Amino acid sequence: MRDGHRLLREATHAAHERLDGLFASFDLGSDAGYRRFIGAQASAMLPVEAALGDGGAEQVVDDWPSRRRSDALLADAAALGVTPRPVAAPVFDSLPSVAGALYVVEGSRHGARHLVRQVAAGFPLRFLDIDQVPGNWGKLLDRVDMILYSLDTRDKAVTAALATFDCFERAGRNWMND
């Protein structure tokens, strides 16, 4: 079955658009805007990646440790003098919920490639410009499709994906006017 990831894309479209709109309002070309952006990303990514690890992300993608981006975010935050303020992350208590959250987190890598061009020269780019192993996205989509074989698993994945988008949205709003 090759439609689990398509279902996630359709079910999370509005949340994705909302989040893109929110993060587009951060001026990545200014010192203050980029600091807020990194602060917001770190405030969501750190707890989400920890929750994914606790939920068994390595059972979905066996290379999970190499996919994590928290260290890159922490390095960028430190270079900018930013202290993350972690928001509460969802609990991922099943493979479908982990798959749904990974779909969101790994999908953000694609957007990061486009954001790099908006960042002013001299700002740290460890997070946005992190190496991406060719084929990793396709590997994840294949696993998502395998895991989301029933309505029950699909509901759990969609719920987790939406909760993950919400986590990033809350973090973004917290940093919007700092």
pLDDT digits (tens, 9 = 90+) for 24-60: 999 999 999 999 999 999 999 999 999 999 999 999 9
Across 155-164, average pLDDT: 97
Q: Mark 31-58 as b/e (b = at least 16 C-beta within 10 Å).
A: eebbbbbbbbbbbbbbbbbebbbebebe
Tell me the longest C-alpha to C-alpha distance in the chain: 48
Determine the distance from the C-alpha atom of residue 76 to the mean position of all C-alpha atoms in its chain, rounded to a whole number.
Answer: 16
Contact between residue 139 and residue 61 where contact means Cβ atoms under 8 Å apart: yes
Residues 80-91 pLDDT 10s: 999 999 999 999
pLDDT for residue 149 is more than 90: no
Other C-beta atoms lying within 10 Å of the C-beta of residue 91 = 12
Single out the residue of 40, 10, 9 nearest to residue 22, CA to CA: 40
Single out the residue of 120, 128, 116, 111 nearest to residue 32, CA to CA: 120
pTM, full prediction: 0.95
Single out the residue of 22, 27, 46, 49 nearest to residue 119, CA to CA: 27
Single out the residue of 165, 174, 129, 142 nearest to residue 60, CA to CA: 142
Number of H helices, E strands in the chain: 9, 0
How far, CA to CA in Å, does 57 sit from each of 18, 31, 130, 163?
Answer: 26, 34, 20, 16
